[in-house]
Amino acid sequence: MAAAGGAEGADGGSALWAEVRALLPRAEEGLTLALSGEVEGCVLPLLRRARALLYSPPGPPGAAAAAALARFSDVLRDYSWEKLNAVPWREVGKGWRQVYAYGCLFGALAEVAAGRPQAAVRLCDLGLLLGAAVLDNVLARLVRALQPRLPRGTAPRDRPRPPRGSLPGVEGERPFQRVRPERPPPPPAVQPEEAIPHLHCPSLEHFRDNYLIPERPVVLEGVMNHWPCMKKWSVDYFRQVAGCRTVPVELGARYTDEEWSQQLMTVNDFISQYIMDENSVGYLAQHQLFDQIPELKEDISIPDYCCLGEGEEDDITINAWFGPGGTISPLHQDPQQNFLAQVLGRKYIRLYSPQDSENLYPHESQILHNTSQVDVEDPDLVKFPNFTKAAFQSCILMPGQILFIPVKYWHYVRSLELSFSVSFWWS
Amino acid sequence: MAAPARAWLVFGFSPEEAAGEPGPGLAPRRLEAGPEGILRVWPAWSYVVVETGAGLEVRSAGLRRRLPGWAEALPSETHLVLRGPAEARAWRREAAVTGALQDEPAWSRALPPEPRQPLPLLPGGFATPRPPFFTALPAGLRARRLALGTEHALALGAAGEVFTWGGGRHGQLGHGTLESEPQPRLVEALAGVPMWAVAAGGWHSASISEAGDLYMWGWNESGQLALPSKALVEERAQDDVCTGNAKLVPRQEQSAAKDTPFISIQAFPALLDLPQDLEEVESSTPGAGVNMDSWDMGTSPALTRHVGSSTWWPRGCGQRRWCAGPGPPTSVCWSREALEPPSHGCCQEEDEGELCSTRPAPRPVRTWIEAAGPRRGSCLAQTPRAAPEILGC
């Protein structure tokens, strides 16, 4: 991070600082730096020194103190980042994730002191994405305090990019009416014998006895009717609510490709580059957006049918899937039950039973063992001859519909146009 | 035996800063040597073990303690392994930095009195600066060098073969996959090219052939393989905005950067195309920009004179950087944070041209290989433009 530059007018700076400072414990002893796991002792002096900078002297930190705080942030994040990458994610110690979150907190506060609230929001998002909650989820509270101070709508980005071939007049357009440079391929036909059954608001018992227990897919209709997202969500709405927030985006046609990668960018950038302008494929996929941006969580509900599971409601993983037409999730299986709720746009989905797993040629590597090697819509039948033996069901999932994907059921998903889905993984 | 006049240059993060004290700053500074001089250096993150003419010494912020009777060190942020003539031991970091070696060690192992390879190699296996401290190697594997990464290890065999094992999620094993290997496995892609040295960073690896070619593989997320890195291009663009510095970026490099395929993981060894003839450059002050052919300088440590040569020697790797030297005089470092702040690194200059070696970033796991040469040493550091740039010593 660069050293503290000139802040905005002193009045605005002090008022914002006071508001931000009020999010922290009043006294230094209140900021306990407690960690839920073991970390190496070498980072503790840095945490303590950074904390000391915040509490004395009172008032917004001057340029030197802000620079020192930024430096502590860099060092803490740099060191803990290596710990976050040293083992598979599920094994990462919570203590190290909290150190990372503290690093982001100190860095964000330094950016606020330097008059750069957008950079502060970005650091908060990094802490929310990679860190673990500290100080009563202070990073989320900090973002909420900063967001009103940021420009609305098409926020200026941190990194100016050369203007690409953006389509004219896209501001405020509804997604379905967006002009597309070329016609997309027509949606695949769904033959009657392979169609997934559709049901309107089945009772809990009926769903449990006919679909959950026998592990059979079904499309539920009418369940989402009163979810606020059906009326509120549009590309412009996301720009307003979440435009300045940093999210992970998948780049590349599918995650089995060599060129596939993930990148962090703001929602504004994602919309500008990959939704409005379709030079290459970007997909905001498998991201717990609703933990990061609680405002959006109020627009959705958890399907009642999830109560038929044994797990707690808090254990349900809710993911956002937001992207242009043409995003593909290769055929794969997940270890939990899934409700895939379609809010915007349509998706072509194909399902294969786990009993057909052998005919689907899963990858042998450990990382991709839950993914098939076969490209569902263009299978190489020379390499994968038994693929034709596998029976499947399919549907075109429309807005307002929820697809029940039983546990371990193989599924392939392709968006037919701009699409926003919400998935609920439950047990 | 008079030690030749040498100076160690240190830049970047310091043990003082690790303790939260104000550090000496980011620009290169000389490491205070004392009358005995500093012969070798083994850095951890918050402390460093140096070998002076009078023996080993551990230095952390504001504290120096001698470690009498020990010959080599292998430090980490949890433990310090020391090797002496008859045994090797490990102490917890807290005891080690205060020199409290009379405390019960966390581990010890008797060593036979025979000529030995350098740490981490030990007779029959190798040491790690954390439990289990000793791991056996297959009897048939006669390793003459061994390098430790965060999750993996490399061994250089007697005939110049390279074996790798451990975690492979970032391609650091060089077998072309992302799979882990429980046992040492020959790197087939390098078979037939006898290697001279190996080194390991956090999640990347390097080797240098006897003919002087440099091979790198593993994670390139911040450009540590000197291959095009998307993150660095982004960082550079962001920095251009934040600092307002007008960088002198040649036209051809800009357009090349747009078309370059970015590499985040290099799972097979890649032969690096390094400049062979490095021209003399003028000395400059830190922060100044000097354009030199297709290279671009940022706010990084000072430039200095250097003389080129044609052979490359590995100097060691940081967690996210890599350091090599062309022959005796020059060293090449690829630094993730060449702009701000620069990675911690260190080079040694030799007035009589005896020795040139560099100390890589003081990350928890790093290796450092020394190579002799007749001329003054210097460092090249990679800016976020994925091109070497001259630092200096």
Domain limits, chain B: 9-110, 143-218
pLDDT exceeds cutoff 80 at A362: yes
Find the closest chain B residue to A261 by CA distance.
Answer: B264
Contacts of B239 in chain A (CB under 8 A): 2
Task: Please report whether residue A5 resides in a domain.
Answer: no
Strand order in the sheet with B55-60: B38-43, B47-52, B55-60, B63-67
Q: Do B93 and A42 touch (CB under 8 A)?
A: yes
Q: Do B241 and A263 touch (CB under 8 A)?
A: no
Q: Are residues A359 and A231 in the same domain?
A: yes
B173 and B184 Cβ atoms separated by less than 8 Å: no
Cis peptide before A57 (omega within 30 of 0): yes
Count how many residues are written for chain B. Answer: 393
pLDDT exceeds cutoff 90 at A300: yes
Q: Are residues A282 and A370 in the same domain?
A: yes
Q: Are residues A102 and A231 in the same domain?
A: no
Q: Do A261 and B230 touch (CB under 8 A)?
A: yes
CATH class given for the domain over B9-110: mainly beta
Residue by residue, DSSP assigns B76-90 as: -SSEEEEE-SSEEEE
Find the closest chain B residue to A67 by CA distance.
Answer: B22
Q: Do A75 and B340 touch (CB under 8 A)?
A: no
Q: Which of A2, A48, A160 sits opposite B340 (nearest CB)?
A: A2
Task: Please report whether residue A129 resides in a domain.
Answer: yes
Kindly report the nearest CA distance between residue B132 and chain A, in angstroms: 17
**pLDDT, one tens digit for every residue, chain B (393 residues):** 444 445 666 666 677 777 777 776 666 777 777 777 788 888 888 888 989 888 999 988 878 899 999 999 999 999 999 999 999 999 999 999 888 888 899 999 999 987 788 999 999 999 999 999 999 999 888 899 999 999 999 999 999 999 999 999 889 999 998 899 999 999 999 998 999 999 998 899 999 998 888 899 998 877 788 777 777 777 666 666 555 444 444 444 444 444 567 778 889 999 987 665 443 332 222 222 222 222 222 222 222 222 222 233 333 444 444 434 332 222 333 333 322 222 333 333 332 222 222 322 222 111 111 221 122 222 222 222 222 222 222
Q: What is the pLDDT of residue B377?
A: 23
Q: What is the pLDDT of residue B239?
A: 62
Task: Please report whether residue A164 resides in a domain.
Answer: no
Rounded distance, CA B148 to CA B249, Å? 37
Q: Are residues A236 and A335 in the same domain?
A: yes
0.90 surpassed by complex ipTM: no
> Is B108's Cβ below 8 Å from some Cβ in A?
no
Q: Are residues A197 and A145 in the same domain?
A: no
Kindly report the nearest CA distance between residue B20 and chain A, in angstroms: 5
Strand order in the sheet with B204-209: B195-200, B204-209, B214-219, B265-271
Contacts of A77 in chain B (CB under 8 A): none
Q: Are residues A252 and A118 in the same domain?
A: no
Task: Please report whether residue A158 resides in a domain.
Answer: no
If you average pLDDT over residues A63-92, what whole number do you get? 89
Find the closest chain A residue to B14 by CA distance.
Answer: A75
If you average pLDDT over residues A276-281, what whole number do you get? 79
Task: Please report whether residue A161 resides in a domain.
Answer: no
Contacts of A6 in chain B (CB under 8 A): none
pLDDT digits (tens, 9 = 90+) for A373-427: 999 999 999 999 999 999 999 999 999 999 999 999 999 999 999 999 999 999 9
Q: Are residues A198 and A108 in the same domain?
A: no
Q: Which residues of A touch B (CB under 8 A)?
A: 1-2, 40-42, 45-46, 48-50, 68, 71-72, 74-75, 79, 82, 85-88, 158-161, 259, 261, 263, 365-367
Q: Where are the alpha helices (DSSP H) in B187-273?
A: 230-243, 251-259
Kindly report the nearest CA distance between residue B359 and chain A, in angstroms: 18
Q: Are residues A402 and A299 in the same domain?
A: yes
Q: What is the pLDDT of residue A216?
A: 97
Rounded distance, CA B154 to CA B143, Å? 10
Q: Which domain-ending residue is among A114, A149, A184?
A: A149
Q: Do B264 and A261 touch (CB under 8 A)?
A: yes
B316 and B323 Cβ atoms separated by less than 8 Å: yes
Contacts of A45 in chain B (CB under 8 A): 18-20
What's chain A's average pLDDT? Answer: 87
Contacts of B341 in chain A (CB under 8 A): 71, 74
Contacts of B234 in chain A (CB under 8 A): 159
- φ and ψ at residue B376, rounded to 5 degrees: -60, 140
Q: Are residues A343 and A228 in the same domain?
A: yes
Q: What is the pLDDT of residue B260?
A: 62
Find the closest chain A residue to B231 by CA distance.
Answer: A263
Q: Are residues A197 and A90 in the same domain?
A: no
Kindly report the nearest CA distance between residue B338 and chain A, in angstroms: 13
Q: Do B341 and A74 touch (CB under 8 A)?
A: yes
Of A426, A392, A398, nearest to A412 (Cα)?
A: A392
Kindly report the nearest CA distance between residue B347 and chain A, in angstroms: 22
pLDDT exceeds cutoff 80 at A260: no
> Is B17's Cβ below 8 Å from some Cβ in A?
yes
Task: Please report whether residue A3 resides in a domain.
Answer: no
Q: What is the pLDDT of residue B144?
A: 92
Q: Which domain-ending residue is among A126, A149, A172?
A: A149
Q: Which of A82, A86, A159 sits opposite B241 (nearest CB)?
A: A159
Q: In one letter, which amino acid is A191?
A: Q
Q: Do A2 and B150 touch (CB under 8 A)?
A: no
Q: What is the pLDDT of residue B299?
A: 22
- A vs B: CB pairs below 8 A: 65
Contacts of B264 in chain A (CB under 8 A): 261
Helix (H) or strand (E) holding A250: strand A246-251
Kindly report the nearest CA distance between residue A157 and chain B, in angstroms: 10
How many structural domains are present in chain A?
2
Kindly report the nearest CA distance between residue A263 and chain B, in angstroms: 9
Q: What is the CATH number of the domain that holds A386?
A: 2.60.120.650
- State the best of A76, A79, A280 to mutate against chain B, taking most chain B CBs within 10 Å: A79
Structure tokens at A11: 């009045």
What domain range is A372 assigned to? 192-426
